[in-house]
Each structure stands twice: as C-alpha cells, then as structure tokens.
Amino acid sequence: PARKLWDEIAESAWRTGDPGVVFIDRVWETAPNPHMGRIETSNPCGEEFLENHGNCCLGSINLDRHLGDSGFDWKALEETIRTSVRFLDDVINVNSFPLNSLRNVNLATRRIGLGVMGFADSLVRLSVPYDSDEALELTDRLARFIKETAWDESRLLAEERGPFPEFERSELKERGMAAVRNSSVITIAPTGTIS
C-alpha cells in the first residue's frame, strides 16, 4: 500500500539519508527553460535537474569562514556571493566539454549553482543548537540573503555581458524577472564530503 511504502521511505531517509525523494511535478513546474524540453533527470548527486545535455557549474561558500565576533559578517558574505557568481559564470567560458552538445546547452542556459557548507560548524561556534527555532530563523535569513544577492549579481552580469541566450524564451522572463546572466544560480549540493 502507498502509505506503507511512504512510511518506509521516510523511515529509511531519516535513518540513512537514502533514498532521496523527488517530486517531478514540482521540478517541471519550476524549470527555468521548459521550452528546451521536459526535464527527465538530474545530475549524478540529484541536486540539479537539467535539460537534456544540460550541465551546471557548482561551487560552495564556507559559511563558517564568514563569522565575526558577533555573528555573521553580512558584508563579507555579500562580497563572497557576488565574487562567486562572477567566478562560476567565468568558468562556463573556459570549461572543456567532452561533447559539443553539452557545451552548447551550457552556453545557452549558463547554469551555475552556488551552494553552502560549514553551516553546522557555524552553529557550533555561535552556540546555537542545530534543532532550535533560532537555527531555523538563521537558516531562513541566510538562504534568503544568499538567493537574493546571487540573483542580483546575475542581473548585474546580464547588464554587462548580456543575459543567457535562452532568456527571452525562458520561464524566468515569463514570471517577470529582469534579464539575468544565468538560468539558475543556487544549488545546495550534499556537502557531507565537500567540507
């Protein structure tokens, strides 16, 4: 029965982290480039759902390195986010690809995926329990700040270098977003091994 299967999936995910669960209808609803074909899969680790032959340039910010004496150094974090967005966008231009189809899709969508690591370490240094309301509030504030700053930097890059080539046909434009350089900017990778 579906309920029993769901309970087994939830219990296993809680105990071991596997299996991951994907709600493909949400993937399709939020795809930035549906005109390029229906998304059928993700990258190998499952954090980025991509167009056929799509790929994404990933990088992570170490949040623990952005702590000051009284908490997060928001100005330094903003500078790191903006620099990281520019760096990841630059990597697209110099990257080597095993197939021309991969290069063409990457240049058309200019997907980047800025993520984070070191959040648990930050909470330890801040003496904030991981499962506390304070940690949840900080998570919300950090996630919003990183997302808004990254998208703003992608917008500034579009003003300088032009938007990603598929922008005019993208859902981002349909949703009223200003022209941006990248069709995605945030990807939270499974960072257990990155840090």
Active site residue 100: no
Residue of 8, 40, 45, 174 marked active site? 45
- Rounded-to-integer distance, Cα 89 and Cα 44, Å: 21
Burial class (CB in 10 A: 0-12, 13-18, 19+), 29: exposed
Burial class (CB in 10 A: 0-12, 13-18, 19+), 130: exposed
The sign of the CA dihedral 80, 86, 87, 88 is positive
Residue of 47, 62, 78, 171 marked active site? 47
Residue of 43, 62, 78, 171 marked active site? 43
At 50, is the secondary structure helix, strand, or coil? strand
- Rounded-to-integer distance, Cα 75 and Cα 111, Å: 25
Burial class (CB in 10 A: 0-12, 13-18, 19+), 67: middle
Backbone angles phi, psi at 112, to 5 degrees: -125, 160
Active site residue 104: no
Query: Residue 128: which residues within 8 A CB-CB, separation 6 or more?
Result: 134, 135, 138
Tokens encoding 102: 């991969």
Catalytic positions are 43, 45, 47
